[in-house]
Amino acid sequence: TAALDELVAEHLAGVKPAGRAVLELLAVCGRFGLDDLERIHDPATLEWLEASGLVVVVASGRRTAVRLAHPLYGEVLWAGLPPLRLRRIQIELADTVEAHGARRREDVLQIALWRVASGGKVPGERLLRAARLALAGHDPALAIRLVNAGDPGDPGDLSRLERAEVLVE
């Protein structure tokens, strides 16, 4: 509701710009590796956000990540992001995950989504892999969105046959 959105926005209003940048990044990506966050943002800011109950640190195997303490924070922050700021965050996220080699299977799909959403170019083979992952996740609408994001006039992009294969699947 609007009242709940206002309450959450009021709760976030006291966050300094450095902390707000972290919260916005997490609103866009959901969770982010602690090591990467500490490289990009001041660890003292991260500690303050954790102590304030705005973020939580979660461990999964050998990985440690940070996420927003409540999903409503993400919804309110995302809704308030200006388009150019959202675009910049998506580009930074895609660049960061690619710099690590995009080793996890879901990284391919996530990078493609961030690149497409930010207006960036995604090589045809990556779009095809991402579309097939979307299909495997039972999301045909996303798969179609991804294959349609390619440039059919670009020889390095998806061929008509590859597009048709995804659409048929």
Predicted local confidence at residue 128, as pLDDT? 81
Residue among 143, 163, 139 at smallest CA distance from 151: 163
Residues in Cβ contact with 165 at an 8 Å cutoff, skipping those fewer than 6 apart: none
Distance CA 77, CA 19 (A): 12
Residue 121 and residue 32: Cα distance in Å, rounded?
A: 23
In the chain, the percentage of residues whose pLDDT exceeds 70 is 88
pLDDT for position 82: 95
> What's the mean pLDDT when you consider all of the chain?
86
